[in-house]
Structure 1
Amino acid sequence: MKMAELGGRRLHYRDDGTGAPVVFANSLGTDLRLWDAVLPHLPEGLRIIRYDKRGHGLSDCSKGPYKMGELVSDVEALLDHLEVREAVFVGLSIGGMIAQGLATKRPDLVRAMVLSNTGAKIGTREMWGDRIAAVEKGGIAALADPILERWFSAGFRRTDAFHAWRNMLLRQPVEGYLGCCHAIAGSDFYATTAALRLPTLGIAGSEDGSTPPDLVRETTELVPGSAFEILRGAGHLPCVEKPEDYAGKLTAFLRAQGHV
């Protein structure tokens, strides 16, 4: 386990391999294990960097609410700490919003991005306000079942592996979960993402109830020349349900950028 001290905050991260860097950012309510099943199917010769965002996993859980700019600054500081430049940044859900923010703020850090199951804007302030109120009253468990229905297809919810993901969600710090809910609620990247000019791949799950394919496609198409893929039979976390297919889409994109 590695911890980076970044100006008074500590982020847990993994830094594996050497070569061209690929950075992975997780969804709300998950930690860096989100990508475990994908990594064995990626080509050799990559430097794989994963991290737990603020308030998640083993990273520090500072008092919320958080702003998206803070989450972007966290990974910016981590990549500077690791002396990383020109990475391909893969972000899922809130991780995809972080990707958009980082690519806008620090184009030297991001040469290409993968926007997975995300949007330039996700939901409404009212929707997030309702979720925040429900979690404040009853904890994450109060919303766990509807959240997991959006995360995973019906078939995956009948597997043994599903219960591990349910436990991961329930064990996230409530303060960190709520902090990131506030960050999503206050974010709208439509204008800034439309100004980006870098290779971009969008990935959606056909059964995604949190960021439906049309939202992911709309966001991806803000960037001229972008590509878009749908993984059939997968929900909000296709890297969990369809890891080989997900890795195949990602590998093809990496090869197209000369990053492998």
Structure 2
Amino acid sequence: MTIIDIAGEPFNVRMDGPENAPVLMLSNSLSSNMSMWDAQVRAWQSHFRILRYDSRGHGASVAPDRPYSIEELGRDALAILDHFGIAKAHWCGVSKGGMVGMWLMTHAPERLGRVVLANTAAHMGPPDLWNGRIRTARHGGMAALADATVERWFTAGFRGRAPETTAAMREMILTTPAHGYAGCCAAIRDMDQRWTIRAAENPVLVVVGAHDPATPPAAGRQIHEAIAGSSLVALDAAHISNVEAEAEFSRLAGDFLRG
């Protein structure tokens, strides 16, 4: 674990791979941490200098008790790149990490190379859904959300055949700070990037999970149709496709990122 200081706030980051390789930044989903990328790091670290981090509100990074915004999360990513003197990086984000990637493509496109947007959406309503999750987290903690989150994240078949992985991911949810989760829920609640992403010019791969109830395939198709020249692939998975369809995700996204 490496803690860096960004404007007086701690962020947990990790670097893997050759120092002279192209930089690839990985951004985690809501209620997870950087360890969700372990399989991809193993698959990609010979090709990339991989920079991953715990998002604001998650893992061992700063978690102020207030609402966040997608812009704030995007500026965190830029500040981390600046901290390491990295002018440009490829990007791969799942769910919330994909939302941050979309913001970066439209507000700092020169900082990104190729971009993978996985199991994500440009807009996620209604507000009452997110307000309800915020209330649940604040009153019942992450234990009150863990079971339903795991059911959204993975198909029943995967949960049955991979109980150890499922248990580890559930523990990741439970260790997420409830107030940090609530802050990020507010960011997603208030986000609408459906029109701004039409200006994106980076090479983009959109990944959808065929069985994803959180950001269904239609949400990924909407992103694909909005970003000219983007590609779209569907995996046999639910919401956290880089874990459930680990091998196929690593192969398809890795091939795209290598160009």
**In the alignment, what sits opposite 1:56?**
58
Q: TM-score, normalized by length of structure 1?
A: 0.94
- Equivalent pair of 1:43/1:251 in contact (CA under 8 Å): no
- Equivalent pair of 2:213/2:238 in contact (CA under 8 Å): yes
Q: CA deviation at 1:47?
A: 0.6
Q: Does 1:25 align with 2:27?
A: yes
Match for residue 173 of structure 1 among 177, 183, 194: 177
- Equivalent pair of 2:113/2:202 in contact (CA under 8 Å): yes
1:153-198 C-alpha deviation (Å, 9 max, x unpaired): 1122222221111111011101100000001001001111111111
Separation (CA, whole Å) in 2 of partners of 1:43 and 1:142: 36
Q: Which amino acid aligns with 1:172?
A: T
**In the alignment, what sits opposite 1:196?**
200
Q: CA deviation at 1:96?
A: 0.6
**In the alignment, what sits opposite 1:2?**
2
- Equivalent pair of 1:115/1:220 in contact (CA under 8 Å): no
Q: CA deviation at 1:42?
A: 2.3
Q: CA deviation at 1:2?
A: 1.2
- Equivalent pair of 1:201/1:253 in contact (CA under 8 Å): yes
**In the alignment, what sits opposite 1:41?**
43
**Aligned-residue CA RMSD (Å):** 1.3
Separation (CA, whole Å) in 2 of partners of 1:104 and 1:254: 19
Map residues 241-260 of structure 1 onto 2, 5 A cutoff. 241-256=244-259
Q: Which amino acid aligns with 1:90?
A: C
Separation (CA, whole Å) in 2 of partners of 1:59 and 1:247: 26
Q: TM-score, normalized by length of structure 2?
A: 0.95
Which runs of 5 or more structure 2 residues have no equivalent in the other structure? none
**In the alignment, what sits opposite 1:212?**
216
Which runs of 5 or more structure 1 residues have no equivalent in the other structure? none
**In the alignment, what sits opposite 1:101?**
103
Separation (CA, whole Å) in 1 of partners of 2:122 and 2:197: 7
Structure 1 residues 43, 10: CA separation in 2 closer, same or farther (over 3 Å shift)?
A: closer
Structure 1 residues 43, 16: CA separation in 2 closer, same or farther (over 3 Å shift)?
A: closer
- Equivalent pair of 1:206/1:235 in contact (CA under 8 Å): yes
Q: Which moved further from structure 2: 129-138 or 148-157?
A: 129-138
Map residues 146-157 of structure 1 onto 2, 5 A cutoff. 146-157=148-159
- Equivalent pair of 1:39/1:247 in contact (CA under 8 Å): no
Give the number of the structure whose residues are more often helix, by fraction.
2
Q: Secondary structure at the match of 2:226?
A: coil
Match for residue 68 of structure 1 among 58, 66, 70: 70
- Equivalent pair of 1:153/1:235 in contact (CA under 8 Å): yes
**In the alignment, what sits opposite 1:236?**
239
**In the alignment, what sits opposite 1:227?**
231
Map residues 80-119 of structure 1 onto 2, 5 A cutoff. 80-119=82-121
Task: Provide the aligned length of Structure 1 versus Structure 2.
Answer: 255
Separation (CA, whole Å) in 2 of partners of 1:30 and 1:161: 13
Q: Secondary structure at the match of 1:218?
A: helix
Q: Which amino acid aligns with 1:191?
A: W
Q: Secondary structure at the match of 1:160?
A: helix
- Equivalent pair of 1:56/1:173 in contact (CA under 8 Å): yes
1:100-124 C-alpha deviation (Å, 9 max, x unpaired): 1112221221122111000111232
- Equivalent pair of 1:204/1:230 in contact (CA under 8 Å): yes
Separation (CA, whole Å) in 2 of partners of 1:103 and 1:55: 22
- Equivalent pair of 2:138/2:179 in contact (CA under 8 Å): no
Q: Which runs of 4+ in 1 moved over 4 A?
A: none
Separation (CA, whole Å) in 1 of partners of 2:248 and 2:201: 27
Q: CA deviation at 1:43?
A: 6.3
